[in-house]
Amino acid sequence: MLARFECELDQFRSAIQNSKARAAALSTVDQNIDAAAQRLILSMVTCRNMLAPISILPAEILARIFHFNAFEEQPYSLGWVHVTHVCRRWRQIALGDSTLWTCFSTSLGPRNKDWIAEQLSRARNAPLIIELDGSMGKDAFSLFTPHISHTRELYLRNLHSEIVQEISIHNAPALERLELSVSNAPQTGINWHSFFKAPLPKLRIFCVSQILLPWSLIPRGQLTELKVTLNKEVLISGVSQHDDLNQLIDLLVNCPALEVLTLENCMPATVTESSGGQAIRLPLLSRLCLGGSSSCVAGLLGMLKLPSSTTLRLNCTSENTPTQNEYLILSILSAHFNDPTTVKFRNFEINLNQGDRILDMVASTSLPTSPILHTHVIRADTDIDAELSLSLSFPHVYDFNDVVDRILRRACEKLPISKLEFLFLSSFSLVRTQPAYWGEVFRYCTEVTTVQVYGFGTTSLLQALTPPPRPRGRGREKRRGNNGGGTRGQASNNNNNSDVSAPVQVPIFPKLTSLLLGRLDFNVEVPGSGVLHDLVLSAVKRRKAKKTPLSTLCITHCVISAEEAAVLEKIVPDFRWDHDEGEDEDDEDDYNHDYDYDYDYDNYYPSDYGPYGFEYDSDDHSDISDELRLGEVYSGPV
């Protein structure tokens, strides 16, 4: 061995006789030393990482954790990929799980062709979720077309017709959800006939927005959710009104598995003439959303036979003759919520928007989780659990308040609200031509315990909550012949010479214990009641005298002085006030805070260790540029 070493050393010495050769040899030896040292260090770091407690987790558990991390990120974003830069094992697990790389979006994710190709290769043959919009070029889109066959969800937004035509030549046997939409005026120039030639055996959800699509081309049979929406009511182009209605009926009849149905501004006009015709039974429907003219909504609603458990979202626009179709809708709703058993609403919310001439009503069998918190105007998207959400628009009505009074009376007569416990009223109306007869409207609602009013157009309800003053004298009045008025005068005529007792006047909502007030000015004049503070104070005192006292009074975002609040606090046991005297008119609710995050990737890791206490043990995580920067692809090995 010594002789062999001396021989090799002699050969090495002979090869480095000059200075240049020695310098080159020295550089080579240094590089070999660095490489060997690096390999030794990495092997030791690998051993160290294996001793970390988290390293005992099986690969399947770590992959599941990566999925949870990905779900917490913004949909379709790849902000979660920092887990692939922790250590060799984590990276291998992430790259080995193809389902982590299946979501694509050109609106949120990268648009670089090389990165798209790399992510598609990592996804392999796993079912894909693809969201594409018109900002993507045709070349980038062509990367996805070979993968349509194993795409599970496909969202196409604002795409050119030639791109849609390119999709039509591919089969989509694995497609479960398909959404087509444009953001501008409804499109009619796309040849949808070819798109639906290939069967879609697994399609369950189909949504189309702002596209005039004939009903006959919509897949049927297996659909569980169908959503067709237009911004304005238009007729389906190229199809007669009569045939169009028949196609819609045929579609719904042949989709008995529907669980969610949404039709907005797309119903044929002739549906108004067929409400008493064919019955369409959808026994599994759990949610129905209809939008359009009141006559169309009433017509289709009258044709549908639904379970009483179906939640309804109705958005109706009244024609030139209001209340007729609205009365019909309320009658249909009454039958719906009383078949086979009566639904008992416990929560009823009303929003009066006089500026836009809109009346919103939301009814639910469940109570608000915490009604004491600030509640603002009704929004349909926040009332997901409500059984009924009804929005009525009256753009052509001159006397909006009169129509509202009539509709509310009819609604309270038709809807099952006798077991109502929570009532919310929002109104910013400045002037009412006539008072709302709340006492008559809610005369049967004796179980109400909490009332919340929001806005300066709700004072009429506060007046109804105030019991009338006691009659003067001993509470009895003598017969005054024909000079007496109302029922008391008539009762006196039945007994000429005897006194009759005055009827006991009980305030509405005898079980009311909590009153929540918001966006009110306690200094504003209330006709017949002085200023609003006097009205509220009178309501509290008189209800206490009538043995129907308030136990909770909550005042938020109101114009009220500390002295006025102190007066009310002395009377109400549970008095809550936000101490906002409302002097600054520009002070609005700050519910949308803007936070500026200066995210410093260079200082993300506090030391040479990774974000989870690991040391990097491999250079196989150096493609950070193609993942964290989302669009720049690393040119080295992946």
187-196, 291-300, 577-586: the lowest-pLDDT one: 187-196
- pLDDT tens for 291-311 read 999 989 999 999 999 988 899
Q: Specify if 584 maps to a domain.
A: no
Q: Specify if 637 maps to a domain.
A: yes
Q: Specify if 71 maps to a domain.
A: yes
> For all residues of the chain together, what is the average pLDDT?
76
Question: So what's the pLDDT on residue 473?
Answer: 52
- pLDDT tens for 395-412 read 887 788 888 888 888 998
Averaged pLDDT for residues 99-126: 82
Per-residue HEC secondary structure of 366-377 comes to: CCCCCCCCCCCC
Q: Specify if 69 maps to a domain.
A: yes
Residue 187: how many CB atoms within 10 A of its CB?
A: 17
Pairing of strands 128-133, 103-105: parallel
CA dist., res. 106 & res. 151, Å (int): 16
Q: What size, in residues, is the chain?
A: 638
Q: Classify each residue of 310-341 as buried b or exposed e, where b means 16 or more C-beta atoms within 10 Å of its C-beta.
A: bbbbbbbbbbeebbebbbbbbebbbebbeeee
Taking 90 as the threshold, does the pLDDT of residue 316 lie above it? Answer: yes
Taking 60 as the threshold, does the pLDDT of residue 375 lie above it? Answer: no
Question: So what's the pLDDT on residue 214?
Answer: 81
Domain that holds residue 42: 34-97+610-638
Residue 85 CB contacts under 8 Å (≥ 6 apart), including other chains: 91, 610, 616, 621, 624
Q: Specify if 397 maps to a domain.
A: no
Q: Is 374 exposed, middle or buried (0-12, 13-18, 19+ CB in 10 A)?
A: middle
Taking 70 as the threshold, does the pLDDT of residue 601 lie above it? Answer: no
Percentage above 70 pLDDT, the chain: 73
Q: Specify if 12 maps to a domain.
A: no
- pLDDT tens for 339-371 read 778 889 999 999 988 888 899 999 999 988 765
> Comparing C-alpha atoms, which of 438, 428, 462, 461 is closest to residue 538?
462
> Comparing C-alpha atoms, which of 157, 101, 162, 100 is closest to residue 132?
157
Counted domains in the chain: 1
Question: So what's the pLDDT on residue 107?
Answer: 65
Place of tokens 């009104």: 241
Question: So what's the pLDDT on residue 93?
Answer: 92
Q: Specify if 51 maps to a domain.
A: yes
Question: So what's the pLDDT on residue 267?
Answer: 87
Tell me if 235 sits within 8 A of 241, measured CB to CB: yes
Question: So what's the pLDDT on residue 39?
Answer: 82
Averaged pLDDT for residues 604-624: 41
Q: Specify if 85 maps to a domain.
A: yes
> Comparing C-alpha atoms, which of 58, 123, 128 is closest to residue 96?
123
pTM listed for this prediction: 0.76
Cα angle: 73, vertex 76, 79; to 5 degrees: 45
Residue 198 CB contacts under 8 Å (≥ 6 apart), including other chains: 168, 170, 171, 172
CA dist., res. 312 & res. 294, Å (int): 15
